[in-house]
Amino acid sequence: MEPRRHVQRWGRIVTFSMRRICGLWVTMAAALASPALAAKMAVVPVSAGNPHILIGNEIFLLSGGQRVWLEIRLSGWAPQRLRVWQAKVDSSGYENGGPGALAPAHLTCSGDDDEGDAQCSSAFERGSTCNSPPSGGLFCEAGYQDSLRTDWIFRGLSAGISAVDVHTPDYRYGGTSFPPSSVTDDGTWKYGGTLVLDVPADASGTFVIAPLPFQDSFMFDDTEGGAEVIPLEELIAARITVGEAFFPKGRYLAITPSSEARATGLRVTYPSGLPRPDAPGIGIEPGNRAGVSGFSRWVGPPRDFVERGQPTRYFAAAELQCKPFVTDWSGFDIVQVYGDAVLPGATYAVEEVDQALIVGPDAVGPGTSQGNVHTWMFGDIVPPYYGKTAAIQPDMLDVRAVVDTFLGLRESPIKVRVQLGGFVPNPADEISMLDVVHAIDAFKGLPFPYPIPAECE
């Protein structure tokens, strides 16, 4: 009979894939080979309860009221060998200054036994078990390690312990192997655990979920008998963005300016002429995309536009231009940016540049990074979105979405998601049959029909 798969100690859940050695239950994990470059630790979004878009380390949700799965991953500790590691999640990122704070997923279970464990594994994922904390009650672990995964950090080692501490909101994941076992780096990302978060219905905007820095998150190599620190070169955060207005679109960039009240310009840079490297195959690229060597534009004056013929609903939009435009952007939660330089399937860097640094069309110094923003596949508007399970996109559901917005139906997508036509889209225009034709052409696999942008003179 296999023993229990977790042990509760002061809020700590220690998970084992079990073999009994010298009276201890120890973990099985995997010895791997070959070198990497720099030690990294990441929180990575991997899935959600409803249709979503994954781009690199970001996940986009049309709305809240669902769950998101994230993973702790590690890589790059060569030439050292990994014996001890810990990752602590910064729960302050569960809030973003607005309503609808995220929280570890909450689900009750029937008992601290095989039946309760089966309920948790079914609802969350293999590895989650039914926990009975000192505070009382029974709940499924929203933080856990699946030690049966082939990419698990300690998979295949002779002995070790892995643990997930859930007694505070800052969940801690970690493990250690027993001498002489340790993990050789093979240059790939390794799985260290799963975090399941509930996104409430009123959530909106971007939430940043990061590992806390050293003392709280670390790697060690003590194969020579001493605790040698493996320097973490990078801590990578997951970004969860919620709301239809923030969703990646084919012809618009959703930019969120800083809330600080000061006069600045917003500079948007397309750093490469190549398709976005972090989401291969996501778009029907312009045939001459390789001719774009990179360029910058400035966000022009924002204006309010009527949403889908509904005079009580507005959105702010601004066109990219060559000349800098300076204003106080703090009153804008989000600006939908458009122009000839906004191409489908691309990633753009956004900087907010202080007025004092702007001289003519250029800036004499770097601005404050506002992160990257993305465009999505031309014509892929509604679920299912391009991905492993929907590689043929767009489809007729996307065409129907454009028609629904043309008809002004209540549940149709917002204008900036379905506006496809025009060398430079006009947010003042209603959705027209030109947009419908472009949706049909995209469904047929025809290329993006407009030329690449010209350089500023």
Full set of structural domains in the chain with CATH: 6-242 (2.60.40.680), 246-374 (no CATH)
Q: How far apart are CA 45 and CA 58, in angstroms?
A: 7
- pLDDT at 276 (0 to 100): 43
Query: 275: which DSSP letter?
Result: P
Listing DSSP states for 291-336 in one string gives G---EEEEE---EEEEETTEEEEEEEEEEEESS---EE-TT-S-EE
- pLDDT at 227 (0 to 100): 74
Q: How far apart are CA 307 and CA 418, in angstroms?
A: 12
Strands 12-15 vs 39-48: parallel, antiparallel or unpaired: unpaired
β strands within 333-428, DSSP E: 335-338, 347-354, 358-359, 362-363, 368-374
H or E element, residue 385? none
Conformation bin of residue 319: beta by default, left when phi > 0, alpha when psi is -120 to 50: beta
Query: 161: which DSSP letter?
Result: E
Q: Which residue type does 302 have?
A: P
- pLDDT at 285 (0 to 100): 44
- The residue among 214, 205, 176, 294 whose CA lies nearest residue 41 is 214
- pLDDT at 369 (0 to 100): 86
- The residue among 105, 116, 131 whose CA lies nearest residue 47 is 105
Tens-of-pLDDT digits for all 457 residues of the chain?
333 333 332 333 333 333 222 222 233 233 233 334 589 999 999 999 999 999 889 999 999 999 999 999 999 999 999 999 999 999 999 999 888 999 999 999 999 899 999 999 999 999 999 988 777 789 999 999 999 999 999 998 878 889 999 989 999 999 998 877 889 999 999 999 999 999 999 999 999 999 999 899 999 997 666 678 999 999 999 999 999 999 999 999 999 998 889 999 999 988 644 444 334 334 434 444 444 556 889 999 999 999 976 667 899 999 999 999 999 999 999 999 999 999 888 889 999 999 988 887 677 777 888 888 999 989 999 999 988 788 888 999 999 999 999 998 888 999 999 999 999 999 999 999 999 999 999 999 888 888 877 778 7
Take residue 444 and report the two structure tokens written for it: 């047929």
- The residue among 367, 365, 360, 395 whose CA lies nearest residue 381 is 395
pTM for the model = 0.86
- pLDDT at 2 (0 to 100): 34
- pLDDT at 280 (0 to 100): 36
- Is the bond into 383 cis (omega within 30 degrees of 0)? no
- pLDDT at 61 (0 to 100): 97
SS3 (DSSP) at 194: strand
* Contacts of 351 by beta carbon, 8 Å cutoff, 6+ apart: 266, 267, 269, 366, 367, 368, 369, 370
* Contacts of 333 by beta carbon, 8 Å cutoff, 6+ apart: 205, 256
Residue 181's CB: how many other CB atoms inside 10 A? 20
Q: How far apart are CA 113 and CA 422, in angstroms?
A: 61
